[in-house]
Amino acid sequence: MSKGLLIVVSGPSGTGKGTVCDAWRKIAKNLGYSVSATTRQPRAGEVDGVNYYFHTKEEFEKMIANDELLEWAEVYGNYYGTPLKKIQEKLAAGEDILLEIDTQGAMKVKAKVPEGLFIYLIPPSLAELEKRIRGRGSETEESLARRLGAAREEIEIGKQYGYVVVNDEVENAVATIESIRIAEHCAVSRNIDVLDELKK
C-alpha cells in the first residue's frame, strides 16, 4: 500500500483557501483533514478530537518539548498546533492529509516533511484580492492596507512551494489541485518500490 501524501495549502488572506479546501474535500476521495491541537477552551458544540484536540497549557508545552508537533504557534495567549503522531498514522495507512495553514506554519512543516506536497493559492490579481477583502465589509482602510502589504510579503514566500494555483473560480482551482494530487501519486520518486517490485 502506498503512503499517503501530506498536502499543504496556503495563500494570502482573502484568497479563498477555506472555500477551495472545503469544496475539494467534498469531491476528493481518500483525503483526510488534520485536526489541530489547542489550549483554548472548547466552544459550545465543539467536540474533542473532531473540532480540535483540547489540551492544558502544560500538556501542550510538553508536546512542544517532546517534538510532537509538526508546527505550532501562540495566538492571543493560546497555543495552536498540528499533532505529528496522528498525521503519521494516517499517512502510513495510505490516506492523504490536507493541512490548510499559513506560510509561517507551512515553512515549519516543509523543514520536517520536505517530501510533502506544497500548493500556494493566489488570487488572479492584488486588485481582485482587495475587492474580495472589501467585500467582507469587516476591514478598515488601515487594516486593509496592512493585509495587502502582508499579502505582498507572503507571495514572495510562495516561491518556496511546489505548485501555484490561481483561484479565479472555485471549481477551476479545485480541479487543478486535484489534478496535482493525482500527478504527485504517479511521480517516480513516490513509486520506486512499485518499480522494484515489478522487476521481481
Lookup: cell for 48: 474533542
* Domains of the chain, residue spans: 6-34+95-199
Task: Please give the residue that has the higher pLDDT: either 42 or 2.
Answer: 42
Fold annotation for 6-34+95-199: Rossmann fold (3.40.50)
76: left (phi over 0), alpha (psi -120 to 50) or beta: left
Question: Which pLDDT tens digit goes with each residue over 54-74?
Answer: 999 999 999 999 999 999 988
Give the integer Cα–Cα distance in Å for 45 and 162.
37
Give the integer Cα–Cα distance in Å for 83 and 71.
8
In sequence order, the 6+-apart residues with CB closer than 8 A to the CB of 3 are: 91, 92, 94, 190
pTM of the model: 0.84
CA 65 to chain centre: 23
Question: Which pLDDT tens digit goes with each residue over 83-129?
Answer: 999 899 999 999 999 999 888 889 999 998 999 999 999 999 888 88
Interval 165-175 mean pLDDT: 97
- H or E stretch including 82? strand 78-83
Give the integer Cα–Cα distance in Å for 142 and 43.
30
Mean pLDDT, rounded, of the chain: 91
Lookup: cell for 170: 472555485
What share of the chain has pLDDT > 70, as a percent? 99
Question: Which pLDDT tens digit goes with each residue over 39-52?
Answer: 999 988 999 988 89
